[in-house]
């Protein structure tokens, strides 16, 4: 790994394949297992529609009242942006319909929203990841995960339906709002990306079966926080910067979706470690860490809390925080080894 040349990003569908463009609706229908109810397909299409609506409003945020803070504090003690609230309302409203969802867990709400007693799925989501970057016009995104219901549909859903390991996810994805709007998702059969064509108002397949490149190009850690990291994290970043190791470039946006997406295309590792004052990290396990780790593993990479795979962690609260390391499997495993080998505090 130390001396390999960097790989180019996975190529998008070229102009010569215009006649074969595949919409997300067609893609999901073609991959629906025989005999399946179609509820998961419809649910994913609802989330794609939410992405279209949020994308449209995001592009116009600077011209509307949505640019600034709302004056409301979310369950994590963070001031919500007006666009946070809009995105949460859009996702919740769309998921309430159709009777497919029994409960919704959102970063912006203190408790799960119980929707339909007979619904067969639970959706967890961060409606607008990276919203502190809104005023700076930096890429932001929506993260989501979908669990099959475990509780008896004759009764109300309960904690066991959403406080569970990420390996129970049946689908996960994100919508990235940047120079283009991209929806990346997996239903356990690889990772696929769709780009919103604004002229026709539809997501079309642009990357199929995405994989983390064998040769990583970037690492994404906030160096300004390095004095606050545990020794093992500092040792890992110092190892990355040695002349005899992979020679990665440092790139950090501060929006987990954007950092993850760049590294998925070009190869690398994203990390948000625990810090002095944030011993449990900052990202949330249920609706940020687990869905992104699901995507990382589906693309041949790994998600970790620094000691174990994130998909094996069983959360105890819906807003539980965790250190997060995502991306190239070899780099994440090397980080785990160095963290475990470091002396304790």
| pLDDT (0 to 100) of residue 61 | 57
- pLDDT at 134 (0 to 100): 75
- Mean pLDDT value across residues 82-109: 94
Give mean pLDDT, residues 167-175. 98
Q: Output the six-digit token pair for 21.
A: 């463009």
- Residue-wise pLDDT for 7-64, tens only, equals 555 555 544 445 578 999 999 999 888 777 889 999 999 999 999 999 998 887 554 5
188-204: pLDDT as tens digits: 999 999 999 988 899 99
Computed over every residue of the chain, the mean pLDDT equals 89
Question: For residue 18, what pLDDT is reported?
Answer: 52
Higher model confidence: residue 134 or residue 161? 161
Whole-model pTM? 0.89
Query: pLDDT tens across 299-332, in order?
Result: 999 999 999 999 999 999 999 999 999 999 999 9
Domains and CATH numbers, the chain: 18-209 (3.30.540.10), 218-341 (3.40.190.80)
Phi and psi at residue 107, to the nearest 5°? -60, -30
Q: Which residues of 154-180 are buried (b: 16+ CB within 10 A; e: fewer)?
A: eeebbeebbbbbbebbebbbbbbbbee
Angle between helices 82-96 and 39-59 in degrees, nearest 10: 160
Question: What distance in Å separates the CA atoms of residue 64 and residue 58, rounded to the nearest whole number?
Answer: 10
pLDDT of residue 60: 72
Binned at pLDDT 50, 70 and 90, residue 73 comes out as low
Q: What is the dihedral of CA 3, 9, 10, 16, to 10 degrees?
A: -130
| Mean pLDDT score, 121-131 | 94
Q: What is the pLDDT of residue 316?
A: 98
Residue whose pair of structure tokens reads 């199929």 in the numeric block = 208
Contacts of 260 by beta carbon, 8 Å cutoff, 6+ apart: 174, 270, 292, 295, 296, 326, 327
């Amino acid at each position: 790994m130390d001396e390999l040349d960097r790989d180019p990003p996975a190529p998008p569908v070229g102009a010569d394949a215009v006649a074969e463009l595949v919409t997300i609706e067609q893609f999901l229908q073609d991959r629906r297992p025989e005999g399946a109810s179609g509820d998961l397909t419809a649910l994913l299409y609802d989330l794609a529609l939410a992405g279209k609506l949020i994308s449209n409003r995001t592009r116009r945020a600077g011209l509307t009242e949505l640019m600034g803070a709302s004056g409301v504090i979310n369950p994590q003690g963070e001031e919500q942006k007006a666009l946070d609230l809009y995105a949460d309302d859009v996702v919740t409203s769309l998921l309430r319909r159709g009777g497919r969802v029994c409960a919704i867990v959102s970063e912006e709400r203190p408790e799960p929203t119980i929707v339909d007693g007979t619904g067969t799925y639970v959706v967890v989501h961060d409606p607008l990841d990276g919203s502190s970057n809104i005023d700076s016009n930096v890429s932001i995104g929506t993260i989501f995960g979908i669990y099959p219901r475990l509780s008896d549909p004759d009764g109300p859903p309960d904690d066991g339906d959403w406080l569970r390991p990420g390996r129970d996810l049946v689908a996960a994805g994100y919508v990235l709002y940047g120079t283009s709007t991209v929806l990346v998702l997996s239903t356990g059969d690889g990772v696929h990306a769709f780009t919103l064509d604004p002229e026709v108002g539809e997501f079309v397949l642009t990357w199929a079966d995405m994989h983390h490149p064998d040769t990583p190009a970037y690492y994404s850690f906030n160096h300004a926080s390095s004095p606050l990291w545990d020794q093992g994290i500092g040792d890992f970043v110092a190892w990355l910067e040695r002349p005899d190791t992979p020679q990665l470039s440092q790139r950090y946006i501060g929006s987990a979706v954007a950092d993850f997406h760049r590294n998925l295309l070009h190869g690398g590792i994203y990390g948000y470690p625990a810090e002095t004052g944030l011993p449990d990290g900052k990202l949330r396990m249920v609706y940020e860490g687990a869905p992104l780790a699901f995507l990382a593993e589906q693309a041949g990479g790994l998600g970790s809390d620094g000691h174990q795979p994130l998909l094996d962690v069983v959360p105890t609260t819906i807003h539980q925080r965790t250190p997060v390391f995502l991306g190239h499997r070899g780099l994440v495993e090397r980080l785990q080894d160095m963290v475990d080998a470091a002396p304790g505090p």
